[in-house]
Chains A and B, each alone.
Chain A
């Protein structure tokens, strides 16, 4: 307001000066004075009118409401960009840390690990699609930086009949945690069963998914992905790391028919048990070929459950209590194959059976402070060869996470590990995380 008045005053003075100079050149002094006086009078009247209008707006705010609304402002951006950086540090009494911490985004060494630095991009492509991409940087045990296109997919936004299409490379929807990124995990490491079934980086590949939201009054969704079955992130299928599962030489198995692709169906449903409690249950399968033989295949089945209670007067989402559990089983049909270790030995055809589970309980004690406990176990039946990847083991973890704000996190976690035939280990890990850029929306 003060600024406007000052501007108006300058305008008046400036106008008067200009008109005075012009008048001096043209007219006699008495006529100049009269004209100046008239100009001052009319400007004063105009200013009084303006002042009275402003006063009336201040006095009567309803009048302001009747005025036309402000122009709609521009919101959003063509693309949201965010960056999440994760640093782990800590110690384990097992010097060979990767033997204990098998996940790609777990702490790798005694000391410091940068397990995940993630550049996330997302945006609306056009009226029909949304696009997502995640580019991940990791520093390995030797200090080398690895870059990978972790995810890149488009998601349809306007298919009819409650259908939705996703296509590209993505973490497939199998259970609850497989398609969560490390910054959304409740612990510093991935559950053992996910690494046992899918490998160090979970199950992801290139493919397409069709999902259908059922027209029921409660949430139920059916989805099926069809994906390539080859590569390091499809370890139970046509992966170059499969030798560690079946112990035999790898068969260079090409895609001959649709049967050589991987199929991942999933059903999920959810109920609000009360106003403050929600339950989500799901069942998933991953079916596809493996490279122990020309017709060998793998079947993985899983069930998952998530329950959450949140206070009706939650502040920043706290307090809450949640339970999450997943159980999986794998039938790996290994064909008759030559042993990778001793090529003169033929391993018999056999079905390698593995299973595992984890269960975790989280307590959001007060705003931005969460305590958690997790128990887990994995195991496999005996086979014609020994594989470190299939030994029985279990882990008990407890952690405390403090979020200084929504955009940073500090975690401390203790792990007790037991490996059959090897022994027990203790580890203490700390984790620091920061997020910059667009505020990503959370999923349930």
Chain B
């Protein structure tokens, strides 16, 4: 370690606990495929990063347009965080091909694939598209489980420190702070949903599996008969009977999913449609991950309470 790096470490160690931080000479350009990953990068990167998300918070993350402006964004990126598990398979590879940026190539320090290291569920036992558009690596909607988020922020901090070693202490401090906040909130969320353990719910797509598993809810049906396949009248009839039989009284719908289909089912089952998003910023007051989870847990709790 030379004198200069000793000075850097010492300066960082002295300044960060005071929260003053040395003003970064040049911020890292971090690009995330989805707003939830972008939000986590902001939590860990703090003042040292400029973060941009490619997908809008309100749109279906499976089908983002690979617009030329995204090529420019990726060309200038110091780091790319993608969900992986084939979530962005339909649009990210074409963009990366055109972006010609080695810094964010697979395996580079500037590339975080969030699904790596997360225990994915619903991994298919065979590759068979008669079962719908099933992702071969498992269900990619894992950020809705705060326990997975802890694994992902650790990866983000690790990669940020590799790309920008001089600010590693700040990233580590931000990671600790975020984890502490998340732990405290996790206990609160579990307490809020504890009275509803085992509650039966219905979702549009298989996108709340991880949330249900973590908070002990039971997804009895999805409005889509199979992932990526549009709801058919015969399948909706099955859903309605299943909801009546199991007394499931809430249907979770994201902003881009067809609310009218959910409303039709809700009318016939005396259920309530809950507008739930998985992306920060899609609904007012959900700008951070913790605010987003607060919103989800509160909406679920009040919805389930009302329908009890």
Q: Which residues of A contact B (CB under 8 A)?
A: 61-62, 64-66, 69-70, 72-73, 75-76, 127, 130, 155-159, 162-164, 213, 216-219, 221, 268, 270-272, 275, 278, 280, 308, 310-317, 367-368, 405-407, 439, 441-444
Contact = CB atoms under 8 A, between A and B. Distances in A.
> Which 4 A-B pairs give the minimum distances between C-beta atoms?
A219-B68, A69-B117, A270-B68, A317-B63
B230 A278 contact: no
B122 interface: no
B98 to A, nearest CB: 7
30 contacts: A62-B150, A65-B150, A65-B151, A70-B119, A75-B113, A155-B97, A158-B102, A163-B100, A213-B72, A213-B75, A218-B72, A219-B68, A272-B67, A278-B65, A278-B68, A280-B68, A308-B65, A310-B59, A312-B59, A313-B59, A314-B256, A315-B258, A316-B63, A317-B65, A368-B230, A406-B90, A406-B133, A441-B94, A441-B95, A442-B94
Contacts of B132: 405
Contacts of A158: 100, 102, 105
B93 interface: yes
Nearest to A124: B106
Contacts of B150: 62, 65-66
Contacts of A314: 59-60, 63, 256
Contacts of A313: 58-59, 255-256
Q: What DSSP secondary structure best describes chain B's contact surface?
A: loop
B197 interface: no
Contacts of A280: 68
Contacts of A73: 116, 137
B178 interface: no
Interface string B62-92: 1101111101100100000000101001111
Nearest to B154: A69
Q: Interface range on chain B: under 10, 10 to 19, 20 to 34, or 35 or more?
A: 35 or more
Contact of A407 (B72, B92, B102, B129): B129
B306 interface: no
Contacts of B106: 76
A217 B94 CA distance: 20
Contacts of B66: 441-444
A112 to B, nearest CB: 25
Contacts of A65: 147, 150-151
Contacts of A442: 66, 90-91, 94
B188 interface: no
Contacts of A64: 147
Contacts of B84: 75
Contacts of A268: 68
A164 B133 contact: no
Contact of B69 (A219, A311, A443): A219
